[in-house]
Amino acid sequence: MAIPIATDTAEACSLAEYLAALDASGFAPDDPASVAHAAHWLARLAANRKFLGELALTELSQGCRREGGQGYSPQVMMLGKPRAGWFMRANIWPSHEEAVLADSGAAAFVYGVAHDHNFDFLTIGYHGPGYGSDHYEVDPQSIVGVVGEKVVLTPKGTSTLVPGQLMHYRARRDVHCQHAPASLSVSINLMHSTPSQRWTDQFQYDLATSTIARVLTGCTGDTLARLALMLAPQTAGDILDTIARQHPEERLRWSALSALASAEQQDEARRTLIARYDPGGSTWLARRCRAAIGD
């Protein structure tokens, strides 16, 4: 389950002070001291009841030209420009009373959609009663990542992100199904970002069948490998073969191999190519190959 973090009563700080504190220390979600430091400052920022409204008015008056700007989604307000390894945002969560939810539908706000994240983040309730979550936990090492794959989703209870409630969501491990708040709510997030996220999938889960229902954020390598093979088949074929056999990132090796297989005209030829592949000691790649050929 996403980990609740208790913080002391926080003295409010400004957004500039928060960003300076994180600029000085960074954010390493695998380091308990770093998480505690970031959570302390996030609680201080959330204690500032004026900064976000003032920032929204500034954004509107400047035509959304502020540095860091919008640039994410209509539901999100960026809080400063992205840093190396992390960025800040505020999320707006409409209730069923809001026209935008009726017009766009619940799925547009990921309500009722059980999903994980391919990154760590801290979140804190800032305004309103907060959205609800049903929490689950998965073992990321047990997942191959194929749609329809059976997954052990362990129920971990429910929570509501009320103002001041602070949670740490762990990459690929914590799954939640969110529900619309009783009235418009806002959360503030500290998002961890690394280059490796480009090679990591994010999944939607079917709770009724305990299976992977959809890949929400696919690996960048899948698109690049297929595009290269389409535009420069001979050169790309040699390069992708090398990547498939030698690259240290196993997810990228699969991107290369699956692109090569997709270029085969017949299903049997695709299965044969994958069956002959040497996963080089990678258990995950071996399982992914077996899933692809139907073993």
Which residue among 183, 217, 251 closes a domain? 217
Q: Which two tokens stand for residue 160?
A: 């509501």
Residue bearing tokens 């309103």 = 128
Q: Which of 37-41, 69-73, 128-132 has the least mean pLDDT?
A: 69-73
Instruction: Indicate whether 133 and 68 sit together in one domain.
Output: yes
Same domain, 82 and 132: yes
Return the pLDDT at 58: 86
- Look at residue 219 in the predicted model and tell me its pLDDT: 85
Q: Judge if 169 and 269 occupy the same domain.
A: no
3-state class (DSSP) for residue 232? coil
% the chain with pLDDT above 70 = 96
Check whether residue 117 and residue 154 sit in a common domain: yes
Asked if residue 249 and residue 226 are part of one domain, the reply reads yes
Residue 196 confidence (pLDDT): 82
Per-residue pLDDT at 197: 86
List the domain range (segments joined by +) for residue 142: 3-217
CA atoms within 13 A on the CB side of 65: 3
Domain boundary among 168, 199, 217: 217
B/e letters for 98-122, b = 16+ CB within 10 Å, e = fewer, are beebeeeebeebbbebbbbbbbbbb
Of 179, 200, 217, which residue is a domain's last?
217
- Looking at the structure, tell me whether residues 209 and 226 fall in a common domain: no
What does the pLDDT read at residue 61?
85
CATH number of the structural domain spanning residue 94? 2.60.120.10
Helix (H) or strand (E) holding 267: helix 267-275
**Dist. CA 143–CA 210, nearest whole Å:** 12
Return the C-alpha torsion angle 13, 19, 20, 22, nearest 10.
Answer: 110
Q: How far apart are CA 1 and CA 149, in angstroms?
A: 21
Whether residue 161 is found in the same domain as residue 258: no
pLDDT tens by residue, 193-246: 998 888 889 999 999 999 999 999 878 899 999 999 999 998 999 999 999 999
DSSP state of 147: T
Whether 183 and 275 share a structural domain:
no
pTM: 0.91
Nearest to 29 by CA among 197, 212, 250: 197
Query: For a pLDDT cut of 90, what percent of the chain falls above it?
Result: 84
Q: State the chain's mean pLDDT as an integer.
A: 93
Alpha-carbon span 240 to 259, nearest angstrom: 8
Using DSSP's 3-state secondary structure scheme, residue 230 falls into helix
Domain count, the chain: 2
pLDDT at 133: 98
Verify that 72 and 94 share a domain, yes or no: yes
Measured in residues, the chain has a length of 295
Binned at pLDDT 50, 70 and 90, residue 273 comes out as: very high
3-state secondary structure of 245: helix
Assess whether 165 and 246 both reside in one domain: no
Residue 249, judged by CB atoms within 10 A of its CB (0-12, 13-18, 19+), counts as: middle
Same domain, 164 and 228: no
With tokens 């191959």, the residue in question is 144
3-class secondary-structure state, position 61: helix
How many other CB atoms are found less than 10 A from the CB of residue 140? 15
Radius of gyration of the chain measured on its C-alpha atoms: 22
Q: Are 28 and 165 part of one and the same domain?
A: yes
CB of 87 within 8 A of CB of 191? yes
Residue predicted with more confidence, 58 or 182: 182
Mention every residue, 6+ apart, whose C-beta is less than 8 A from residue 248.
none
What's at 93, amino acid-wise?
W
Phi/psi of residue 209, nearest 5 degrees:
-110, -5
Q: Is the pLDDT of residue 295 over 90?
A: no
**Tens digit of each residue's pLDDT (9 = 90 or more) over 48-106:** 999 999 999 988 887 666 555 555 577 899 999 999 999 999 999 999 999 999 999 99
